[in-house]
A and B are shown apart, each in its own frame.
Chain A
């Protein structure tokens, strides 16, 4: 009974599709670097003062773009009691009491947060006593109003409930479900606007559009750049017809309408392709059975600059089936079925679920359509339904309030159907978004997301720089300010390179600094994807920088780093690895006629997984199949290369 209930709750709402509606919109492009514009932006000789004229981002801001509170119907059903206000307080570093009654605090504050509650079913929350003249005209209404405004609210509440029980409510009393009730949307907006403090903490207004067509996850989080003045002009888009639709094309149409009518700027971030059973990054659209067309590609590009590549319900970079030569591909896999486990996974679905294969297919589709539908940057987020944005393994408060720390949470089924089971231990303590914005404000962060200058981490707040250009040289790693050089000679993560100068191969400046209170770094890798001469997509992983004096083997691969994890004690030491890695790398197999993308992956040394901290704290023995160590990582947004005339 309980399992079925969980399944029902998790899968929320399944519905049928409206006819696809395509909107033709121009696409925006992020920072194509050609020589003239580069020269204009950066004069040949820098000013004497290294700080003068600097307007590039100097540090990344860390946050969560995907967090649920009790305003989400399913979170509430799982016992979440925390409100959006609580969620913002917690993200700002305050100690709060979790729904399970435990005190909890982040290791350090986050820089920003989006509370993204499900839009379906969130308009029912009540507003009472707004000073409605009809209600105030009755003697009871007047009395309650006066009691409330004079601070005797509790007394009024008892009176109202009693009257309600006796059927003696005054005429005009705003019952739940009537328009007189304030919608939750107004509450969400108010909570975000109150918590937002420019240059200290950014609270975005947002919601999740939870399309769950036949149990297949097509969810998107919608984020507003603006404040409540614009956001309150509209109400969130839902997935249930007739008002809403589960088809992303309809969401994009709504977004276009919203921007046009209200002047608000919005973007959407999809997540958990791993639970979409082949529908997240389609070549054939599941709603129509037709091939993706140019309108789909343009709209997806326009509205969805980012993809949430890692979160509690598994990691979405790639899968061993898709990347058999990638030693780090088998990471926190959730590949048993769709979101509610009503349909099992088939290997042929995987290609259309993971970020790396989507980036590869995107290149191929661009050659056919003229537009790349899957030219996205990446971020990580939690998708916690607890009001608590925790992604650290030693401070992990789980997916739902029932999976907040307790001795059974690892060995309890998370979802169970007659087809498959996902156990509690399979939850991943992940992740956060790193955003290279010029300052910590809604506007600057949003704009950085739009230009894809972002990266994902599985929890640790490591700093990752990634620049691509034609003229980086090995000696550039000696520069004391790699960022200045990076922006001067290249484009940052999320950018474009095109039309290779004669005889040149793209060069990349990549650097990573460990989390100041976290583990050392094992290595930096660059992942290249491309379309070969035969029109087939390819990928390759290059080790480019690593700690210690390890020598690459004959296959070019650097041996695994040692492991210092003491599992029973849930500790590790920073006696291995490096605090900082930096390297200039040149593509050794570059063909200027072929489309390609490059992104960096930073791997930490092995550390205890949250299951090890649980085993130690609760003195429980984990079953042998439970992983007790992990290798945390960061993924950057790619830099794309497009052939063309130089």
Chain B
């Protein structure tokens, strides 16, 4: 803060602002015509609507008076601030204006409705994004490596033999597993869900396992598992009808980005951009000084 007060540029700015203000008021006084602030009927309606949207009731007379006083105050400060040029060197204002213009052009640049042909094409070229996950129905039994220690391999073998003899129908799997906080049976679980619960490696391994047979050991981040895949439904690319909304959203978004870029480039054409030679040594000197 102290550094800021000593900053000559700040002095310059303040001085400039003072001259500007003085000039502004003096000239206003010369033509003796105060600037006009008109709160129109339309403004008042919009104030009332704004209030009602928040409070679900129209403002009382006092509240409305307060809101209007507030609007006048805002307008006065806004005009004076702009007159003083306070918006010009302000990073926040600049970025906000950039954002605002982007939003305007976002909407303007919004593409027309796509045809089914366009969407089908988009679906085909972006198959990865719309692929329906592989799904598994499976049972799993968990062995905690810490509990089994050196006997782990042997215990895995024994348990596997036992499980293979029984299949799955008449076994209470929970009684064979070590205590475990996840489920023992999963019905039609998509690969992403299995990955969330057991980790990526386990989920990838699932795709390689035979159907209708106890196998193992399969490793997860928790330890060792024996797995019985009862059913596997392969992943597939869905028909357009199934995912139409999602495809259209993505298509629209892609077009929007495209048209934004186009728009920016068309604006850029009106400018000659000069970037001075980048000199890292100089920048560092400045930085050191600032510190």
Q: Is A554 on the interface with B (CB-CB < 8 A)?
A: no
Q: Which of A79, A94, A176 has the most CB of B within 10 A?
A: A176
Name B101-144 residues within 8 Å CB distance of A: 101, 103-105, 107-112, 129, 144
In contact, B108 and A4 (Cβ under 8 angstroms): no
Q: Which residues of B contact A129 (CB under 8 A)?
A: 107-108
- Distance, CA A191 to CA B249, complexed state (A): 11
Instruction: Write the nearest CB–CB distance from B4 to chain A, whole angstroms.
Output: 6
In contact, A242 and B95 (Cβ under 8 angstroms): no
User: Nearest residue in A to B10 (C-beta to C-beta)?
Assistant: A1
Choose one: B2, B55, B179, B253; the contact of A580 (CB below 8 Å): B179
Known: A50-B172, A109-B192. A157 touches B109 (CB 8 A): yes
Q: Which residues of B contact A234 (CB under 8 A)?
A: 53-54, 56
Which range contains the number of B residues in contact with the other chain? 35 or more
Instruction: Write the nearest CB–CB distance from A163 to chain B, whole angstroms.
Output: 12
Q: Is A161 on the interface with B (CB-CB < 8 A)?
A: yes
In contact, B67 and A480 (Cβ under 8 angstroms): no
Known: A237-B54, A257-B55. A516 touches B192 (CB 8 A): no
In contact, B104 and A126 (Cβ under 8 angstroms): yes
In contact, A480 and B222 (Cβ under 8 angstroms): no
Q: Is A32 on the interface with B (CB-CB < 8 A)?
A: no
Choose one: B1, B112, B182; the contact of A417 (CB below 8 Å): B1
Q: Which residues of B contact A478 (CB under 8 A)?
A: 179
Q: Is B209 on the interface with A (CB-CB < 8 A)?
A: no
Q: Is B155 on the interface with A (CB-CB < 8 A)?
A: no
In contact, B182 and A418 (Cβ under 8 angstroms): no
Name B1-53 residues within 8 Å CB distance of A: 1-2, 4, 7, 10, 45-46, 49-51, 53
Q: Is B166 on the interface with A (CB-CB < 8 A)?
A: no
- Distance, CA A580 to CA B223, complexed state (A): 10
In contact, A514 and B221 (Cβ under 8 angstroms): yes
Instruction: Write the nearest CB–CB distance from A258 to chain B, whole angstroms.
Output: 8
In contact, B222 and A5 (Cβ under 8 angstroms): no
Instruction: Write the nearest CB–CB distance from B132 to chain A, whole angstroms.
Output: 11
User: Nearest residue in A to B99 (C-beta to C-beta)?
Assistant: A76
In contact, A516 and B221 (Cβ under 8 angstroms): yes
- Distance, CA A236 to CA B55, complexed state (A): 10
Q: Is A140 on the interface with B (CB-CB < 8 A)?
A: no
- Distance, CA A579 to CA B145, complexed state (A): 9
In contact, B100 and A124 (Cβ under 8 angstroms): yes
In contact, A77 and B95 (Cβ under 8 angstroms): yes
Encoded as 1 (CB less than 8 Å from any B CB) or 0, chain A from 297 to 331 comes to 00000000000000000000000000000000000
Q: Is B168 on the interface with A (CB-CB < 8 A)?
A: no
Q: Which residues of B contact A511 (CB under 8 A)?
A: 179, 181
Encoded as 1 (CB less than 8 Å from any B CB) or 0, chain A from 500 to 513 comes to 00000000000111
Q: Which residues of A contact B111 (CB under 8 A)?
A: 151, 153
In contact, B183 and A59 (Cβ under 8 angstroms): yes
Q: Which residues of A contact B56 (CB under 8 A)?
A: 234, 257-258, 261-262
Q: Is A463 on the interface with B (CB-CB < 8 A)?
A: yes
Instruction: Write the nearest CB–CB distance from B28 to chain A, whole angstroms.
Output: 23
Q: Which residues of B contact A128 (CB under 8 A)?
A: 104, 107-108
- Distance, CA A481 to CA B109, complexed state (A): 56
Q: Which residues of A contact B100 (CB under 8 A)?
A: 124-126, 176
User: Nearest residue in A to B183 (C-beta to C-beta)?
Assistant: A58
In contact, B267 and A158 (Cβ under 8 angstroms): yes
- Please report whether the interface of chain A is mostly helix, strand, loop or mixed according to DSSP: loop
- Distance, CA A105 to CA B174, complexed state (A): 36
Total count of chain A residues near the partner, CB < 8 A: 79
Instruction: Write the nearest CB–CB distance from A415 to chain B, whole angstroms.
Output: 13
Q: Is B272 on the interface with A (CB-CB < 8 A)?
A: no
- Distance, CA A153 to CA B260, complexed state (A): 9
User: Nearest residue in B to A5 (C-beta to C-beta)?
Assistant: B91
Q: Is B77 on the interface with A (CB-CB < 8 A)?
A: no
Encoded as 1 (CB less than 8 Å from any B CB) or 0, chain A from 45 to 84 comes to 0000011000000110000000000100100110100000
In contact, A108 and B263 (Cβ under 8 angstroms): no
Instruction: Write the nearest CB–CB distance from B211 to chain A, whole angstroms.
Output: 21
Q: Is A9 on the interface with B (CB-CB < 8 A)?
A: yes
- Distance, CA A5 to CA B221, complexed state (A): 46
Q: Which residues of A contact B244 (CB under 8 A)?
A: none
Q: Is A150 on the interface with B (CB-CB < 8 A)?
A: yes
- Distance, CA A483 to CA B174, complexed state (A): 12
Choose one: B70, B95, B110, B198; the contact of A148 (CB below 8 Å): B110
- Distance, CA A153 to CA B104, complexed state (A): 11
In contact, B221 and A158 (Cβ under 8 angstroms): no
Instruction: Write the nearest CB–CB distance from A391 to chain B, whole angstroms.
Output: 15
User: Nearest residue in B to A156 (C-beta to C-beta)?
Assistant: B108
Known: A153-B110, A463-B182, A514-B221. A235 touches B54 (CB 8 A): yes
- Distance, CA A465 to CA B66, complexed state (A): 53
Instruction: Write the nearest CB–CB distance from A541 to chain B, whole angstroms.
Output: 23
Q: Which residues of B contact A474 (CB under 8 A)?
A: none
Q: Which residues of A contact B177 (CB under 8 A)?
A: 480
In contact, A160 and B108 (Cβ under 8 angstroms): yes
- Distance, CA A587 to CA B50, complexed state (A): 55
In contact, B179 and A477 (Cβ under 8 angstroms): yes
In contact, B63 and A109 (Cβ under 8 angstroms): no
Instruction: Write the nearest CB–CB distance from A463 to chain B, whole angstroms.
Output: 5
Q: Which residues of A contact B10 (CB under 8 A)?
A: 1
In contact, A151 and B112 (Cβ under 8 angstroms): yes
User: Nearest residue in B to A160 (C-beta to C-beta)?
Assistant: B108
Known: A59-B182, A108-B195, A128-B104. A481 touches B174 (CB 8 A): yes
Can you list 13 contacts pairing A with B, beta carbon distance less than 8 Å?
Answer: A94-B129, A125-B100, A149-B112, A156-B108, A158-B263, A234-B56, A242-B67, A480-B174, A482-B181, A514-B221, A516-B198, A517-B200, A580-B222
4 A-B pairs with the lowest CB-CB distances in the bound complex, closest first: A516-B221, A480-B174, A516-B199, A153-B109
Given A513-B222, A579-B222: 20 more A-B contacts, CB < 8 Å: A1-B7, A73-B96, A76-B95, A111-B196, A148-B110, A156-B108, A157-B109, A157-B263, A160-B108, A176-B100, A235-B54, A244-B54, A480-B180, A480-B184, A516-B197, A516-B199, A516-B202, A579-B145, A580-B144, A582-B179
